[in-house]
Amino acid sequence: MARIVVTLTINPDSPDVDLKKLEEEASKKVAEYGGDVGKVEIEPMAFGLKALKIIFIMDESKGIPDELEKKISELTGVASVRITDVRRTIG
């Protein structure tokens, strides 16, 4: 099976959420799911809010990571989580 690159966008519920702590907790969930975090970005939204984008690689045989999305949405300080991109790797 191929590997896929997945981008998760995590929206915090307030500007006061510690994004570094949220990144650590979400990255741990990704690792437990079998993904390897490759890159993390912080993207400004509005009214002082910043979204956390986690880009990771996982085995395609697991399918779309809906279960992972649900687990991350249950973390403290998370308003919403979306899978914003899924791509098959080449090589």
Rg, Å, the chain Cα set:
13
Model confidence pLDDT, tens digit, residues 39-63: 999 999 888 889 999 999 999 888 7
Would you say residue 67 has pLDDT above 80?
yes
Q: What is the pLDDT of residue 59?
A: 92
Model confidence pLDDT, tens digit, residues 73-90: 999 999 999 999 999 987
Return d(Cα 91, Cα 82) in angstroms, integer. 27
The domain defined by 3-76 carries CATH number 3.40.50.300: no
Place of tokens 């993390």: 40
